[in-house]
Amino acid sequence: MSGNPNESVESRLATILPHLRHGLREESGGRRGGRILRVTGVVVHASVEEVRLGEICELADPKTGRRTRAEVVGFMDDTAVLVPLGDISGLSSLTEVVPTGHELRIPVGTGLLGRVIDALGQPLDGAPLRKEGIDGRYPVNAFPPQPLERAMIAEPIALGIRALDGLLTCARGQRVGVFGAPGVGKSLLLSDIIKGTDADVVVVALVGERGREVREFVDRQIGPEQRARVVTVVATSDRPAIERVKAAYVATTIAEYFRDKGQHVLLAMDNVTRFARAQREIGLASGEPPTRRGYPPSLFAALPRLLERSGPGRTGSVTGLYNVLMEGDGTMDPVAEEIQALLDGHVFLSNELAQRNHFPAVDVLRSRSRLMDAVVPERHRADAARIRELLARHADIELLMRIGEYKEGSDPLADEAVAKIDRINAFLRQSSRSAETLDETRQRMREIVDEGR
């Protein structure tokens, strides 16, 4: 740019704009760009030709030199609706909008193991990604495998938690929701599972978490020993809604990469509720009508597309664990209700158990694994059924015991439940540093059931 002090700002812009537009047009394969018309909340309305849904556009401001990527999420009349992938400060009416011709892609490969990345695939842990560890770039928006191309689910995956491995056994390739109110230990349970699972690779998505919790989760709850097989994708609560949404898709994409390599992957997402709220924020700002509890229709289309991408592939598998922040008992929560209907199992965490310092606070009687019977031997199935039966009978007579109305000897099943409840509760309680193998869990269950026979 000329340094002539007498040259006006308008003439300088007239000089630089053609060069900037020429450079952007070269990057986009010669396609014509457009201009921002208005910015409303988190969305940008632009007049730009030849764009499609999901395409990434470059927003380049000639005055400030600021460049930001944005994704096309809709159309309204003759304008494209875009959501910037980052901060929108510095954009102006002069900002050029140029389509790139491609959708968002992220680097994948073994070089991601042990790393912490953001929702755009960029490292957050202070070191660049090594080129020799990157195997290419995968599109973030992908289709799940065709139903008949998936392998049959046939074996369990050990999570290291007795209550889950014993009474709610999870299969490789199963999708399970962990439901609970704030403060009942969902994130702690997830970190214990990451340390105790026998999965080959673990991919963690921290969606909408507090910044403080991210460091604690990575350094303290997972620890350096486990990080070598863990990829962590982070979009904290202060990041734009589109980044919180993309974090879930990016983590799923990375899990799919390792599954396609024949590995068994555990995908842990904390949490899907914040993904849903970010999707609501984008949908409402884009002009969608609110439907169930203020959530737009696009959310209920996005949830199955996201959740169906996990599961078994031709060779490897993605076992999905999805934390769900539940409102009340969940009966009036449309997100929790929809997720429960889509998944292959649900684990409910109890406020009452958490208040008793019973951790993990798994409400066994309310929880269910739909694939347990397909992957456990007959003796395991029978022992688990007997322990659940004893828990249910003890819950039936607990009030009678408190008021002194229970009469011993009148009901053999109730007598057995009373005699064994302390051992059952000890089995269901577990410290965060005491992961157990599946065989050890089965042995403990067998001892409880056989006691007194």
117 and 65 co-located in one domain: no
Position 42 scores a pLDDT of 81
**Number of other residues whose CB lies within 10 A of the CB of residue 5:** 5
φ, ψ of residue 317 in degrees (nearest 5): -150, 155
Using alpha carbons, select from 147, 148, 153 the residue that is nearest to residue 376: 153
Radius of gyration of the chain (CA): 26
- Residue 7 is predicted with a pLDDT of 53
Instruction: Give CA–CA dist 375/364, Å, rounded.
Output: 19
What pLDDT was estimated at residue 13? 46
d(CA 76, CA 46): 10
* Shared domain check, 208 and 277: yes
* Claim to verify: residue 139 and residue 95 sit in the same structural domain: no
Buried b (16+ CB within 10 A) or exposed e, 151-168: eebeebbbbbbbbbbbbb
For residue 257, being part of any structural domain is answered with yes
Domain containing 354 — which CATH number? 3.40.50.12240
**Residues 229, 84 within the same domain:** no
Per-residue pLDDT, 419: 94
Choose one of 57, 80, 103: the last residue of a domain.
103
Residue 110 DSSP symbol? G
In-domain check, residue 8 = no
- Number of domains making up the chain: 3
* Residues 135, 208 share a domain: yes
Q: Residues 196, 197, 201, CA angle at the centre, nearest 5°? A: 125
Name the residue range of residue 436's domain: 380-450
Predicted confidence pLDDT, tens digits, the chain (453 residues):
444 545 554 555 455 444 544 444 444 455 567 888 888 878 899 998 889 999 999 998 888 888 889 999 988 888 999 999 988 887 888 889 999 989 999 999 999 999 999 999 999 988 899 888 999 999 999 888 899 999 999 999 999 999 999 999 999 999 999 999 988 999 899 999 999 999 999 999 999 998 888 988 888 888 788 889 999 999 999 999 999 999 999 999 999 999 999 999 999 999 899 999 999 999 998 888 998 888 999 999 999 999 999 999 999 999 999 999 987 666 678 999 999 999 999 999 999 999 999 999 999 999 999 999 999 999 999 999 999 999 999 999 988 888 888 888 888 999 999 999 999 999 999 987 788 999 999 999 999 999 877
* β-strands 230-235, 116-118 pairing: parallel
Structural domain contains residue 388 = yes
DSSP letter assigned to residue 217: I
Q: With CA atoms as reference, report the closest residue to 70 among 85, 80, 81, 53.
A: 85
CATH number of the structural domain spanning residue 411: 1.20.1270.330
Among residues 225, 178, 169, the alpha carbon closest in space to that of 202 is found at 225
Whether 320 maps to a domain, the answer reads: yes
Residue at which a domain ends, from 348, 374, 400: 374
Residue 12 lies in a domain: no
Residues 69 and 164 in one domain: no
CATH of the domain at 66: 2.40.10.170
| Residues 341, 324 contacting (CB under 8 angstroms) | no
262: left (phi over 0), alpha (psi -120 to 50) or beta: left
End-to-end C-alpha distance for the chain, whole angstroms: 91
299 and 228 within one domain = yes
Helix (H, G, I), strand (E, B) or coil at 248: helix
**Please, what is the Cα angle at 406 between 401 and 408, to 5 degrees?**
120
Same domain flag for 295 and 414: no
- Do residues 388 and 367 share a domain? no
Residue 15 lies in a domain: no
Residues 97, 113: one domain?
A: no
CA pair distance 360, 339, nearest whole angstrom:
22
pLDDT at 369: 96
Distance from the Cα of residue 263 to its chain's centroid: 19
Residue 17 domain-assigned?
no
User: What are the residues whose beta carbons fall under 8 Å from the beta carbon of 241, sequence distance 6 or more?
Assistant: 42, 83, 278, 279, 281, 282
> From the CB of residue 32, how many other CB atoms can be counted at a distance below 10 Å?
12
